[in-house]
Structure 1
Amino acid sequence: MKISRRPALSEDERLAALGRLLTDTDTPMRLRVAGVIVLLYAQPLTRIVQLTVDDVLHDGETTLLRLGEPASPVPEPAAALLLAYIADRDNMNTATNQASRWLFPGRRAGRPARPDHMSSRLREIGIPVAAARGAAIRQQLLELPAPVVAEALGYHDKTTSRLLRESGGTWSRYAAGDHSRSPSGWTPRGAHGADNTPSSPSRPITHV
């Protein structure tokens, strides 16, 4: 997965954009959710539109988004926004789309939303996707080892290692190996109100 070399948002700009998407009820919910995924998890829109509702795992207390291995925790209030959106997705009215599993169903029956169209809409509401992704991945690399970020967010380890060097991170000596679990209690930084307490699901996680 590639990251643009265009200037990233500053951390203050990323947090401001994230806070706005989490609270601005005048913005269409699908754009809010897509923008939050970009700002928290540095995902490209080509991948975001391929997500399905089965990639959202929920047990009543914990919400996870499957982007890599392991699935990434979704902090509050982002989790509540994501679940509310799933319960009332748009473009679901046609007969052929009523059973769609796409997280972002497109206008064409059976197809997901177009990434170029979503990119344009996000730009209209002040979310430049490439700059937002750059800010998100660099912040993750300042807080977590590059191999963990690569596996959890679906990046190539060479990409995260390069970005780590560019961002001046301190995890360069982290040992390679089995990183099949996120660090205990990992919560992506920047979601207002997120609880950083380690969580252990009390019952099996199920698809939404």
Structure 2
Amino acid sequence: MATALLEMDRPESRLIWLRNPNVVRLLRDLATGTVPLTHDGLHQETPWRTVVHLRDLLMDSGVLPRVDRQLMLYQRWPTERLATIEDPEHRRHLQHFAIWHQMRRLRSKVEKGQLGRSQTNQVKQEITQTRAFLTWLAVGGRTVEHCQQADLDAWHTEKLATRRPAQTFLRWCMKTSRIPRLTLPPQVINQDQAPLHQHRRLAILRRALHDDSLPLRTRVAAALVLLYAQPVACIVRLTVDDVLDDGATIAVRLADPPSPLPEPVADLMRACVRSCRHLPYASSRSSQWVFPGRRPGQPMNPVSLQVHLRKIDVPPQRGRTSAIRQLVLQAPAPVIAKALGHHDKTATRLVTEAGGTWARYAPGDHTR
């Protein structure tokens, strides 16, 4: 870890961090064996922000094996929440749901790829609203085992958006026969994501590509949103290995096959890759993120990138919707879906919404 700190382009910030009394204590305890140099050993230490940063550095340096950071952070959360629940039945239900069901779901997702913060935040909301639902039932003199359709209807009558996450618990209860099969209100699609008008999308894109006063990474992200309909959560997970540059052309691996970048997007991407290890907060030379975060070995937080995009008038969701609607009018939906990493059903639906028709496409396998 010391070598990694010394190899950084600007180690001053890390040297300041090393003088923090909590950091000094943790490093001393790790060196003397007071705290085991393991993930479980660090899991018991405080303050948690300092511990998380130190653990990231240790993983980035190869001292500790890599584990999914979001799952690691989440594991502490349900234990702390369960300890605050006084009703033993409520605690039992939540423990089974949080540990047996939710934790298993998260671990299954980790096997397929790294978790995002939004995924663990969603799970936390589901558990929080489950606790609120159990408390609400108890106020009415009911337990979850005796929950009826009238109870679910009344629960969803007020604050539907806030209370909806509890439906994950309710579906789990129905599936495991804890409650009878009841009807939940259907999911309401948020219509506050109307696509930008085409001329507005192009005007925003033109500014992002040609205004040199804007931050470089924000310009690249804007191009990926407005041209390639990429979600912010996917953009921040791009690595330098996903950028394929043979000197003449440049492509980015959004899905399969890689998507070529036109000029001037290509030049912006080249500059972005060149500069990613020279940021004052870059974690180490081992960082491979095109959009590096402030924590060692971690990409930028998607929420932070959304904030940067909105500062230059790029609405991420609306811009992405506008881009994909335009793309599916220019090529078969399966082709667009495969190239950009979208589900083909989503792309096909957008063809219909955008007024497109399959009649103008020649028959055959459009995925080839």
Place the TM-score, normalised by the shorter chain, in its bin: 0.7 to 0.9
SS in 1 for 2:329: helix
Q: Which amino acid aligns with 2:271?
A: A
**Deviation string, structure 1 residues 27-76 (Cα, Å, up to 9, x no partner):** 11011111111011101101111110111111111111111111111011
Query: Is the contact between residue 147 and residue 176 of structure 1 (CA under 8 Å) also seen in structure 2?
Result: no
* Greater share of residues in helix: 2
1:4–1:39 distance in 2 versus 1, CA, 3 Å: farther
Considering only CA atoms, is the larger Rg found in Structure 1 or Structure 2?
2
Is the deviation greater in 155-164 or in 62-71? 62-71
Distance 1:76 1:106 in 2: 27
Distance 1:141 1:9 in 2: 15
SS in 1 for 2:244: strand
Q: Which residue of 1 aligns with 2:356?
A: 169
1:94 is displaced (CA, Å) by: 5.4
1:19–1:94 distance in 2 versus 1, CA, 3 Å: closer
Q: Which residue of 1 aligns with 2:322?
A: 135
1:95 is displaced (CA, Å) by: 7.3
Aligned pairs for 1:1-208 within 5 A: 5=191, 6-89=193-276, 92-93=279-280, 96-171=283-358, 175=363, 177=365, 179-180=367-368
1:149 is displaced (CA, Å) by: 0.1
Distance 2:248 2:340 in 1: 22
Query: Is the contact between residue 91 and residue 105 of structure 1 (CA under 8 Å) also seen in structure 2?
Result: no
Give structure 2 stretches of 5+ with no counterpart: 1-188
Distance 1:66 1:176 in 2: 26
1:89 is displaced (CA, Å) by: 2.1
1:86 is displaced (CA, Å) by: 1.0
Distance 2:258 2:190 in 1: 24
Query: Is the contact between residue 4 and residue 130 of structure 1 (CA under 8 Å) also seen in structure 2?
Result: no
Query: Is the contact between residue 283 and residue 294 of structure 2 (CA under 8 Å) also seen in structure 1?
Result: no
Distance 1:68 1:159 in 2: 16
Distance 1:174 1:110 in 2: 47
SS in 2 for 1:51: coil
Q: Which amino acid aligns with 2:367?
A: H
1:20–1:90 distance in 2 versus 1, CA, 3 Å: farther
1:178 is displaced (CA, Å) by: 6.3
* TM-score of the pair, normalised by structure 1: 0.79
1:40–1:95 distance in 2 versus 1, CA, 3 Å: closer
Aligned length: 178
Query: Is the contact between residue 14 and residue 39 of structure 1 (CA under 8 Å) also seen in structure 2?
Result: yes
1:70–1:174 distance in 2 versus 1, CA, 3 Å: farther
Give structure 1 stretches of 5+ with no counterpart: 181-208
Is the deviation greater in 57-66 or in 135-144? 57-66
Distance 2:255 2:364 in 1: 17
Q: Which amino acid aligns with 2:301?
A: R
SS in 1 for 2:358: coil
